[in-house]
Amino acid sequence: MTHRIGRRELLKSALAATAATGLGGLTLGGQWNAHAADNAMPKRRMGKTGYEVSLLSLGAGLPPIRHDDDPEAAVELINHVLDVGINYIDTAQSYGVSEINLGEVMKDRREEVFLVTKSYEDTYDEALRATEESLERLQTDYLDMCKHHAVMSMEELDQIGSSDGALAALERLRDEGVIRHIGVTSHTPAVMTEALERHDFECVLIPINPAHMIYGGSYDPGDLDEFLAKAAEKDVGVIAMKVVNNADILNRGLSMVEAMRYALSKEAVCSACVGMTSMEEVDENVEIVRNFEPLSPEELEELEHRAQD
């Protein structure tokens, strides 16, 4: 498309200068989609981006997508994800060869997906350089969104927001058309509440599960509720990750259906970002979101009790 011509050149110049419709799930605070086609992929509006994102999205941080031992299987899986109507893919520069495998599909099917990558880089120059490298691996001239990856503390938030921080670089790239939207990820809800007060982020990727777990630790459910209320107030899209926390939630006796329903019933959440390793897993999770019904407050509380026993 002609409006993207020259975006790679714009980014290289910056470096040199510095060295969407389906069986609608409930949009909390919104409405059911009354115009949905039977058995289609349900979608929700992703906050102020205005994008209609599939209720299920792909987190591309698991094999075969992140590994280099079977690129054909990775490409087959990515194509299947798009074929079933998933329209949001989240990767990161740190996810092995994920960007490279995705690039093999993006070169032909770029217009079908809201493509997101993430960067750990904290400084202006490093963020510019990392974004250029991601574009090359993904075989695209633009990103729908770039997220700053894993902002866990107020000190990290201070750094990326400083005059020579990564956020200034992402804002420049957005102004130049290289990226369309800016997001952030964290395991710390209280830091994200402050992040939304300070900056105009459009999307946050954050853990949401009934055990309030992240890896071997946990997050404060009160902090999460405060963050979700702030996200709703500022019209920020929330993508839920770690909905089963590397199977910890399943090992506590809950099902994938319950974990997905829990995350998708939370205020401001527009999609559950799930790592999927096979076409069978994709199809099972698609069926879950096609049949999604929101949980009541009492049902949410009951799942929390079961997950934490």
Task: Report CA-CA distances (Å) from 274 to 36, 57, 239.
Answer: 23, 6, 10
- 177-212 pLDDT, tens per residue? 999 999 999 999 999 999 999 999 999 999 999 999
Domain range summary for the chain, segments of one domain joined by +: 2-308
Write out pLDDT tens, residues 218-267.
999 999 999 999 999 999 999 999 999 999 999 999 999 999 999 999 99
CATH 3.20.20.100 fits 2-308, yes or no: yes
Which pLDDT score is estimated for 11?
53
pLDDT tops 90 at residue 216: no
Q: Are 218 and 250 contacting, i.e. CB atoms less than 8 angstroms apart?
A: no
Which residues share a beta bridge with 147?
A: 118, 183
The type of residue at 234 is K
Q: What is the CA radius of gyration of the chain?
A: 19
What pLDDT is attached to residue 273?
98
Q: What percent of the chain has pLDDT over 90?
A: 85
Tell me: pLDDT of 143 over 50.
Answer: yes
For tokens 């927001």, name the residue: 161
pLDDT digits (tens, 9 = 90+) for 29-71: 232 232 334 568 999 999 999 999 999 999 999 999 999 999 9
pLDDT digits (tens, 9 = 90+) for 128-140: 999 999 999 999 9
The pLDDT value given to residue 215: 82
Q: Rounded to two decimals, what is the model's pTM?
A: 0.89
Burial grade of 69 (CB within 10 A; 0-12, 13-18, 19 or more): exposed
Q: Where are the alpha helices (DSSP H) in 30-163?
A: 71-83, 98-109, 124-138, 154-160
State the average pLDDT over residues 74-90: 98
* pLDDT band, very low/low/confident/very high, at 9 (cuts 50, 70, 90): low
